[in-house]
């Protein structure tokens, strides 16, 4: 294996120009051989990606930018609200011009082409010029704009919970957002274990009552949320709650909580994402009735 072929495996996530390849000592013939063998991918004129580049990275580089927003988050395993959104989000410099097709470097960019839907975000970036992915902090900030506040906060919670960002990163993240988003910083909570849990927490806060996160109840264990000290909210999703055995265990747990004086609400993730008012009405109904 040639040195260039070895580099193709070891330089994931970056692109390189033809002059840079020559400065690294690769001959014109070695570059051509690497292109033919697939160890290099030509994104556009004089811009190449290494073999390990993903399809999204190749398409974004071909357009003339880098992978951004929810596309970056999804690739890192971070919560995004619309899992069916297959658009490729691409960050492009405000001074960028002559954007190319994501699938054909000889054509101009179109919003939808050959089954690929492109969402371009025109903004500057602190990314290195060779990076084919926007920095995670920038992608999270852009996703806040694209997804909306609740989903944006759920994505930030997810990144914090997984240790992909730190609390100290939040200053830079929110500094890059317009003033109307600043009040949301105090709502970030990395203890949330799922996007649905973040949604439920934010919805419950709208009642004006106390909301405890990941509370441990003696004899039962940890629950997702406790509102007003006695209303337990457990956030279910099909991914983790399919099967009769799991449902039976959840029902037993609900009965154990009821025996201790807790009322239990178990909304599905789909309900939280699409009909949040149903949970608000349920909480307010229990609060109005009281514990007795």
Q: What is the pLDDT of residue 152?
A: 98
| Cα gap 213→190, rounded to integer Å | 10
Per-residue pLDDT of 123-157, as tens digits, reads 999 998 889 999 999 999 999 999 999 999 999 99
Task: Answer yes or no: is pLDDT of 111 > 70.
Answer: no
Higher pLDDT, 102 or 128: 128
Which positions ≥6 away from 248 have C-beta within 8 Å? none
Separation of alpha carbons 140 and 73, rounded Å: 7
Three-point CA angle 211, 213, 217, nearest 5°:
100
Output the pTM of the full model. 0.87
Count each helix (H run) and each strand (E run) in the chain, helices first: 13, 11
Architecture of domain 191-292: 3-Layer(aba) Sandwich (3.40)
Candidate from 94-98, 146-150, 167-171 with smallest mean pLDDT: 94-98
Ramachandran angles phi, psi of 72, nearest 5°? -65, -45
Instruction: Please name the residue that has the structure tokens 């919560």.
Output: 79
Provide the pLDDT confidence category of residue 8 given band limits of 50, 70 and 90.
very low
For 27-85, the pLDDT digits (tens) are 888 888 888 888 888 888 888 998 889 999 999 998 889 999 999 999 999 999 987 78
Half-sphere exposure of 212 (CA within 13 A, CB side): 13
């Amino acid at each position: 294996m040639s040195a260039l072929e070895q580099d193709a495996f070891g330089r994931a996530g970056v692109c390189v120009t033809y002059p840079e390849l020559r400065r690294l000592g690769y001959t014109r013939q070695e570059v051509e051989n690497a292109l033919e063998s697939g160890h290099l991918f030509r994104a556009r004129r004089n811009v190449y990606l290494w073999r390990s580049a993903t399809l999204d990275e190749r398409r974004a580089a071909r357009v003339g930018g880098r992978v951004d927003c929810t596309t970056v988050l999804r690739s890192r395993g971070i919560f995004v609200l619309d899992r069916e959104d297959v658009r490729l989000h691409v960050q492009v410099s405000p001074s960028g011009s002559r954007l190319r097709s994501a699938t054909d470097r000889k054509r101009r960019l179109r919003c939808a082409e050959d089954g690929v839907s492109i969402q371009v975000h025109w903004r500057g970036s602190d990314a290195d010029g060779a990076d084919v992915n926007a920095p995670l902090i920038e992608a999270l900030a852009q996703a806040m704009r694209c997804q909306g506040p609740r989903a944006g906060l759920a994505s930030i919670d997810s990144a914090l919970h997984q240790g992909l960002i730190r609390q100290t990163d939040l200053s830079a993240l929110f500094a890059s957002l317009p003033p109307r988003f600043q009040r949301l910083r105090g709502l970030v909570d990395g203890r949330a274990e799922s996007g649905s849990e973040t949604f439920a927490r934010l919805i419950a806060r709208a009642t004006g009552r106390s909301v405890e996160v990941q509370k441990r109840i003696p004899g039962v264990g940890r629950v997702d949320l406790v509102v007003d000290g006695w209303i337990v909210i457990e956030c279910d999703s099909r991914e983790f709650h399919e099967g009769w055995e799991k449902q039976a265990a959840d029902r037993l747990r609900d009965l154990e909580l009821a025996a201790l004086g807790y009322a239990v609400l178990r909304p599905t993730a789909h309900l939280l994402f699409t009909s949040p008012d149903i949970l608000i009405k349920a909480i307010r109904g229990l609060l109005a009735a009281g514990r007795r």
